[in-house]
Structure 1
Amino acid sequence: MIWIVTHNNSLYKDLTHLSKKFYEKTGKKIAGKKPIYMPEKKDVIANVLNDVVFIAPYYPEKIGFDNYGFFSVVDFDDFITDENIEYLGEEQVLKERLGLRIYKPKVAFKNMAGAKKLINDAQMFRKMEQMGQTIGGIFLFGVPGTGKSFFAECFAGETGRKVVDLDLSYISYTDNPSKTLLKVFEILLESGDKFVLLLDEIEKVFDTNNYRSMQVLGRLLTLLNDIVKENIQELVFIATANNITKIRDNNPEFLRKGRFRKLYFLNFPSMQSAKEMFSLYFSMNIRKFEKYMSILQVSFIKNIKIENLIRKIDVLLQEYKVINDNDKFIYTPAEINVFTEELFINYLINKITDLDDLISISAKEITPIQFSARDSIQKMLSQNNIYSDSAFDIKAFTEIS
């Protein structure tokens, strides 16, 4: 009997990709044999004389069987090594060994609205890359819901890259976090593809009380330096954060000049950006619901004046505003998206046909984050003014709204 230990759920469905390397290592073939997944003790007893493959996330001892010659016990994680990366494929290795998500995004800059400075700079970065210069890293800090992670996907789509969702918290729990992170980079660079490495909410990893977290960050800083120094164009870091207090207090060197190509602060959208976002989301929802709409209904939606819509929402939700800036809209881009969907649903399904009622009801169904997280938002926005030391200068951040 063959007992394969693995924490990779994908193996519970398919053994065929294992058979070649398993045979090379053990001289035993497993393809074509009926596997038993997550065996219990009764399964082992019932099949002790049969030629069976067991697959489990634990060793046989856990259910009361020492390996008295009954089993050929193999830890599958040991099979994902340098010598079989080519056989398995680098993406499969990263997914199965490290639980990293790799995907090719279906969005690009045409799917974004507002944030003109950010998009223009990204186009400039792309031209730099075409001239043989590395982009290195981009750091996005700001209000939740302002599209930080979405920008990373759009940038990847625009530049023909795949996105690697680089979960540093997960990596920090591996046996050797520093070595694991280095291996990720080696695999990606050997693949021949180009990638955006998304470090989402990176502030959550800055834990000075956790040795493994600090080990990962130390290795990451080295790799960031190497990418710039060695002009490695295949990899682009895009890091996001909702709060940079921990970074500033614990590791201000992380954001020093030269490590990231550009630092951005994503604020609530300007009124002009909000107008562009509403236009984009209205167009998207018309395409989504058009087959359920009559010609008159489509006409009604298309004739809504976005400027009037924005003014009405601003007046309705004035009491919720935290920012004392008449050019800043109450909603984040994510909230504008949700509002637009609510408006279509209220119009098409709930049959609300009076425009003022439609706007009022849709707006009041969404509590702005400016109100629901008032204290956090005020603290976040205040970070624009309170940090100004030589190692960490918040003024180096370009504001995007």
Structure 2
Amino acid sequence: MDFSLDPEIVSLKKMVRDFADREIAPHAAGWSERHEFPVEVFHQLGRLGLMGMLLPERWGGAEAGHVAYVAVMEELGRADQSVAAAWNAHSTIASLPLALFGTDEQKERWLRPLAEGQKLAAFGLTEPDAGSDAAGIITRARRADGGWILNGAKLFISNAGTAMTLGVTVLAQTGVSEAGRKEFGAFFVPTGTAGYGLGEPLKKLGWGALDTRELSFTDCFVGDDHVIGDPRAGLTHFLSALDPGRISVAALSLSLAQAALEMGLEYSKERHQFGRPISSFQAIGHKLADMATEVEAARWLVYRAAWLADEGLPHRKEAAMAKLYASEVANRVASASVQIHGGYGWMRESRIARFYSDAKILEIGEGTSEIQRNIISRLILDAPTR
């Protein structure tokens, strides 16, 4: 078994680290404090070929695979979680439904500018009363002459209101089947469409530079050519993009855990008490050892899920495990690193405080820890006994 990355991915990882250290990390605290979305950084990521890593080359993507994607996420998230979270949302749930189910005309019209980094995208699923229960959404789309009329609201939607946002893919109820089940469609709504409203940016505990808003749809008309895939199977289409999304959030979690570990190590060597660095005290050394062990365990859960995805092998259980474990490790390691930093770690101007604030959402977004445990338990209970 060879756990080393391909030389091409190693070179890519180094290139992204150099870019992130130069163009992201020095400015991240300021962006977060000002709640400023760094548009130019995303244009630069596009020029580097990183905005369509999971998308087909035919439509301007890199088609680099999940392992390469995880490697890039490690470096972006190590520099700043807000930038990495925006890149993640754009690269997975906002783009993959178009790539998987869009027509050639839709891909040329919308997917290409997303893949090339000219534009950014969002996906509208969550509502005030529907999150983990995706089938509980009440935003509706009814047929009209030549298209559909949308009415409803979405909440906690990332990337929808930036200066480079192309539009949002919205999941809406389209009817009820003969068996009495709700049917859903996915609709691409371009920014500026009449009846589509953007709320003010939401003030969050973390991810300060990530654009997050409530969206409203009031008699919002979109043509038939804005329907992505089957207008009765939009929920199924969306669920097909969840496994890559879980791997990507697991990678985002891994990046935070690694950054928090590095900060804890560095500070423990610099901080002196009782005439010596605090890293020399056994209590601190053991804490760092536990942190490093958990980060390493999370790393290989994440990379294994990514490798299975690249090989075309079943990976739903592994993606859920990686997301569950890595997100919880990120929270434990960030908390332990704050403890190592002591009072300084509780100050807003400290880097670890920002990462600590960013950590909790990782256990919530892209399926809560509770949902991941439901998925894992169902899959292992249904699996044949060895």
| TM-score normalised by structure 1 residue count | 0.29
| TM-score normalised by structure 2 residue count | 0.30
